Structure 1
Amino acid sequence: MIRLARVGARKQPHYRVVVIEKDRARNGRSVEVVGTYNPRTNPASVELKRDRIEFWTKNGARLSERVEKLLASAPAAETAAA
């Protein structure tokens, strides 16, 4: 599954977009980090490795609802290159 893992200090959230087994804990050991999301900037900054996300989805990984929204709303120019 591709979902968000919370990092950062208390009341200062910052998220990593990670590939992780579905039954693992939210911040458990992930397979790969495929991006970041910082909602505290204006506008919120999103960096995604689209080629790696595409690779994992082709191999059976499912996106969480929030990651689907981030992927749809983030313009291709803002995403980080591999």
Structure 2
Amino acid sequence: MAVKIRLRRMGNRNAAFYRVIVQDGRVAPTGRFIETLGWYDPKQEGNNFSLNLDRVNYWLSNGAQPSETAKSLIKKAGALPVEQAVTGEVTEEEVPVAAVEAEADAEEVAEEAPVAEEATEEKA
């Protein structure tokens, strides 16, 4: 099994937000994934990512191939001092508020769209 460590886009247009995931290489990049290892917010200032280094090292030792961006994030996380090293489980509190709000907005828009389609069908 070819395992990949990839970034999956989660945010809206002009509000990019990514999750760092482990995925089977035979599955489409937008398909199912095995595990979430962290997040990355390119628009955030300062420390704009969080990774579970224990799990990253586990997957790398089992032959997972990181993408270029994931490799860069892993390298940056490994270079951080021990007191700033990003390890452990990624919690909901660590995910930026703007990313959570953007994801919630996208879900609301997706829920409203079928209602509008039903209304136009009823008029016809």
Structure 2 distance, partners of 1:42, 1:66, is 18
User: Within 5 Å, which residues of 2 pair with 1:1-82?
Assistant: 1-43=4-46, 45-74=48-77, 75=80, 77-82=84-89
Q: Which runs of 5+ in 2 are unaligned?
A: 90-124
Structure 1 runs (4+) deviating above 3 angstroms are none
The alignment's TM-score, normalised by the length of structure 2, stands at: 0.60
Decide which structure has greater strand share. Answer: 1
Q: How many residue pairs are counted as aligned between the two chains?
A: 82
Quick one: which amino acid aligns to residue 10 of structure 1? R
Q: Which runs of 5+ in 1 are unaligned?
A: none
CA spacing shift, 1:44–1:11, aligned 2, 3 Å: farther
The alignment's TM-score, normalised by the length of structure 1, stands at: 0.88
For the aligned residue pairs, the C-alpha RMSD in angstroms reads 1.5
- Greater RCO, CA 8 A, separation 6+: 1
Bigger CA radius of gyration:
2
Decide which structure has greater helix share. Answer: 2
* Mapped contact 2:54–2:87 kept (Cα < 8 A): no
